Structure 1
Amino acid sequence: MPKKNSTTRETLQPTILSYLNDLPNLLSLSGLACTVLAIYFSIKGLYGAAMIGMVWAVAFDWADGLVARKLKGRTATDAKFGGQLDVVIDIVSYGVTPAILLLSYGKFEPIYLIGAFVMLAAAAVRLSYFSTYGLAGGTKYTGLALDNNSLILVFVFLFEGFFTHGAFSVVLYITGVGLAVLNISEIKTPKLSGNPRNVYLLGAYTLGITAIYGSKLL
């Protein structure tokens, strides 16, 4: 009897680029594009533009999850790939970007390396913990979710004009390290992105922040 072709009994593995056909992944990558802009503008010292990039990164991050939950026909593998992509992007958006913001605002003085490391390390540990254990009780995060870091930092930066550059550097340093401590703490916080009302609130916040910082750039 002729031998069966073994490839017919195996599930063909999709190509890497095939996952670009998945809308939630495109939204995730759009958030990454905003993050790259935030990093670029932070390094250039255009902090208003960096704040806009940071808040839109959060908006796209929330959007990809919302679309993924409503989209029909996604397989378990699609969901797993999207989850992994989210984690990789989150470490850049909520770990690397705030760290670079702090370094840039501190004029890359060595003392700011400590704060930047603490912020980035906390983000890495926080994401690893979540990837391992997920939501506590299926509804709450253990530790402050990382997207809150960007939302809070963008808000805090609104008050920059009330301080000297040196004084606000200290405020930014304390805020960043304080958020890092909360990220890896045992506090339980709700999953804000899972509530439709919060999605609308984030949309309003994103547009408001964009308008405020955009007006300062004109």
Structure 2
Amino acid sequence: MNDPDHQRLHQTGMLAFARDLPNICSLAGLLCAVLSIYYAILGNLPIAIIGMIWAVVFDWGDGLIARRMKGRTDEYRAFGGQLDSLIDIVSFGICPAVFLLSYGEFSPWFLPGAFVIVAVSAIRLSYFNVFGLVDDSTYMGLALDNNVLILAFVFLFDGLFGHTIFSVIIYAMFMIMAVFNLAPIRTPKFAGRWFYVLLVYVLALTVIYSWILWIKYQ
């Protein structure tokens, strides 16, 4: 407890870690997730989708920035890893769960599904925090951010079905993805140039959902 480095870190203060550029990027993703939850509760699901997919962009971006920064200490990397994991459970656990509840008009029938989404997120992130990647470019199971990217695409077809039928589709899709999140299968970690593919995908979906909103409120 008298280790000088330990004392120095306590004197540094928590906000010094929060000012770290990759961590600022992580917190921007958290803001997107909070906005998504807010609009999901209000029932404005297109904006909720936009918030969720931008949370994915910032989640990928913080790692990209961190890897390119020189001289970042082990303490800052460790803090960033913990912050990223805690934000992930909000962005890719609580946020989709609230989205499902909102689409189900907060019916009690949707509570089990919401619990499964959050529980699977907690289990997966805990596993990842302990064991990490299988190798430098491989996850065990489907990464949680993929759930959001799949949801954003599938939800474009909302208007083609009745609300009850699409509720079942969305519910079933979340449960299937939950199985793959915890399945002992290897999935690739998309990084590097894939970030720019993600950015194009998110920008395209942002434009589409913005157009849907514009049509809706005309």
TM range (shorter): over 0.9
Residue of structure 2 in register with 1:21 after alignment:
19
Query: In structure 2, the residue corresponding to 1:141 is in which secondary structure?
Result: strand
Residue of structure 1 in register with 2:197 after alignment:
201
Residue of structure 2 in register with 1:3 after alignment:
none
CA change 1:7–1:189 in 2 (3 A) is closer
Aligned residues: 211
CA change 1:72–1:43 in 2 (3 A) is same
Q: How many angstroms apart in 2 are the aligned matches of 1:151 and 1:9?
A: 41
Q: CA deviation at 1:183?
A: 0.4
Using structure 1 for the length normalisation, give the TM-score. Answer: 0.93
CA change 1:8–1:122 in 2 (3 A) is closer
Q: AA paired with 2:45?
A: Y
Q: Cα deviations across residues 90-125 of structure 1 (Å, max 9, x unaligned)?
A: 000000011111111101111101111111111110
Which of 93, 96, 108 matches 1:95?
93
Q: How many angstroms apart in 2 are the aligned matches of 1:94 and 1:71?
A: 26
Is residue 107 of structure 1 aligned with residue 105 of structure 2?
yes
Q: Cα deviations across residues 20-58 of structure 1 (Å, max 9, x unaligned)?
A: 221000000000000001101111110110110011000
Q: AA paired with 1:29?
A: L
Q: AA paired with 1:32?
A: L
Q: How many angstroms apart in 1 are the aligned matches of 2:204 and 2:14?
A: 37
Structure 1, unpaired ranges of 5+: 1-5
Q: AA paired with 1:20?
A: A
Residue of structure 2 in register with 1:43 after alignment:
41
Query: In structure 1, the residue corresponding to 2:184 is in which secondary structure?
Result: coil
Query: In structure 2, the residue corresponding to 1:12 is in which secondary structure?
Result: helix
Query: In structure 1, the residue corresponding to 2:187 is in which secondary structure?
Result: strand
Residue of structure 1 in register with 2:131 after alignment:
133
Structure 2, unpaired ranges of 5+: none
Q: After TM superposition, what 4+ stretches of structure 1 lie above 6 angstroms from structure 2?
A: 6-10
CA change 1:9–1:180 in 2 (3 A) is closer
Q: Which has the larger Rg?
A: 1
Identity in percent: 52
Q: AA paired with 1:138?
A: D
Give the RMSD, CA atoms, in angstroms.
1.4
Query: In structure 2, the residue corresponding to 1:30 is in which secondary structure?
Result: helix
